[in-house]
């Protein structure tokens, strides 16, 4: 038998390379900066700050302790009893707590220096700033010594200068007018001298209608008496 011819081989068609589909790309979302809102164009009225007034003129030595009159006073008037006991001089500032109460805190340029036998406060007052402002007196030395009358709640100047005050301490008329010299002698004979923490006081208090005579005077604790008078 005749052989059949072998079937012709099919030509292989070359395979076309597969093209890869491009991978989808993802875009990262970033926070876009939002456009800044436009500022409203409103007209603003610019108020210019007024020029501050020039500071008040003060003395070179603003501290009360540096006042030449205060230094002189504390050197010449040491703590102790004066004018036969009519005055009790303390260390400067020892009674400032009471001074603060009577002046309602207005103690700038003020310093307590003692008290009287009847409980009134003695005060040194630095007046240099006032002298500068008013253009009077000696701006570098201006001062005085005053008395706070705790019975009638008033202030009286005892000397317009340290020298005037010191010169008056031994004057009988001065002692009678401001320190109750005659009454002091009488109550001292009747009640005896006061202890360091005591004073002579009127009972009832003068501000409550008491009588200002020797018969109404008693020896009292000075601090307690001050507290009572502050409330009357």
Written as six digits, the tokens of 224 are 């307690």
Question: Of all residues in the chain, what percent carry a pLDDT higher than 70?
Answer: 73
Q: Supply the pLDDT for residue 141.
A: 86
For the segment 135-159, the average pLDDT, to the nearest whole number, is 90
Read out DSSP for 118-143?
TSPEEEEEE-HHHHHHHT-S-TTT-E
Which element (helix H / strand E) includes 199?
A: strand 198-202
**What is the pTM for the complete model shown?**
0.71
Structure confidence by residue, pLDDT tens digits, 104-134 = 999 999 999 999 999 999 999 999 998 888 8
Q: Torsion over CA of 81, 117, 232 and 101, rounded to 10 degrees?
A: -10
More confidently predicted of 31 and 13 = 13
Do the beta carbons of residue 219 and residue 194 sit within 8 Å? yes
Q: Torsion over CA of 89, 95, 100 and 106, rounded to 10 degrees?
A: 40
Length of the chain: 232
Helix then strand count (H, E) for the chain reads: 7, 8
Q: Supply the pLDDT for residue 134.
A: 84
Residue identified by tokens 């701006």 is 139
């Amino acid at each position: 038998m005749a052989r059949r011819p072998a079937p012709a081989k099919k030509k292989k068609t070359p395979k076309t390379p597969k093209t890869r589909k491009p991978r989808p790309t993802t875009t990262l979302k970033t926070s876009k900066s939002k456009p800044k809102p436009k500022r409203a164009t409103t007209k603003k009225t610019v108020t210019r700050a007024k020029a501050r007034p020039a500071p008040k003129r003060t003395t070179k030595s603003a501290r009360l302790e540096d006042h030449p009159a205060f230094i002189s006073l504390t050197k010449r008037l040491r703590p102790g009893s004066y004018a036969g006991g009519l005055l009790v001089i303390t260390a400067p500032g020892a009674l400032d707590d009471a001074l603060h109460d009577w002046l309602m805190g207005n103690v700038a340029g003020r310093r307590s220096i003692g008290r009287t036998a009847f409980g009134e406060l003695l005060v040194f007052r630095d007046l240099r700033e006032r002298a500068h402002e008013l253009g009077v007196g000696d701006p570098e030395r201006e001062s005085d010594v005053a008395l706070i009358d705790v019975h009638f709640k008033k202030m009286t100047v005892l000397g317009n200068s340290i020298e005037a005050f010191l010169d008056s301490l031994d004057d009988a008329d001065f002692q009678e007018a401001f320190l109750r010299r005659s009454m002091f002698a009488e109550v001292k004979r009747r009640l005896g001298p006061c202890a360091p923490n005591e004073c002579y006081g009127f009972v009832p208090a003068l501000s409550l209608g008491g009588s200002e005579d020797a018969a109404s005077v008693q020896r009292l604790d000075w601090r307690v008496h001050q507290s009572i008078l502050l409330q009357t």
